[in-house]
Amino acid sequence: MNNPTLMKNLRNVPNYPIPGIQFKDVTTLFKNAKCMKIMVNELYELYKDKGITKVVGIESRGFVLGAALAVKLGAGFVMCRKPGKLPAETLKETYMKEYGKDTIEIHKDAIDEKDIVLIHDDLLATGGSMKAAYNLVKRFNPQKIYINFIIELTSEGQKGRDVFDKDTEITTLIHI
């Protein structure tokens, strides 16, 4: 899609969080009302006819558009968080990322077998955090799982899609 307004407002931060990483900062998109409207509307158009009942947002940038989209779709919103942040019983998944190891959790009662789930996050690079979230959501045996990102890195040897089965439906708003 690569909307020109989104591309113009996306900030690149070199050497963050470690040397060699070119961090794509979506906060510049979030602070711009026009960009927010574009992103929510583009996501809504992608998913309005899919029957989504739950949107899962991955901590923390996935919460912003994930929650906004859930409202527009008339769906519930589920937080996928770092350990110790959710107050009730959780399921957890540990994964490797570009620069370390991490764990994420979802409440055990967040999703059920009747749900059609969209998992949303800001960026697809190696696919580690989304694959962990996808594995967590699969444990609930929902009817269907969709995956979405604001940005997909396809340059610099990033092959995040490769960690998912070929039949996994993945959409992104921006390809870099």
Residues designated catalytic: 61, 98
CA 146 to chain centre: 10
Among 121, 113, 7, 2, CA closest to 57: 121
Contacts of 126 (CB under 8 A, 6+ apart): 97, 98, 158, 159, 160, 163
Which value, to the nearest 10 degrees, does the dihedral of the CA atoms of residues 172, 121, 69, 176 take? -30
Q: Check if the beta carbon of residue 146 is closer than 8 Å to that of residue 117.
A: yes
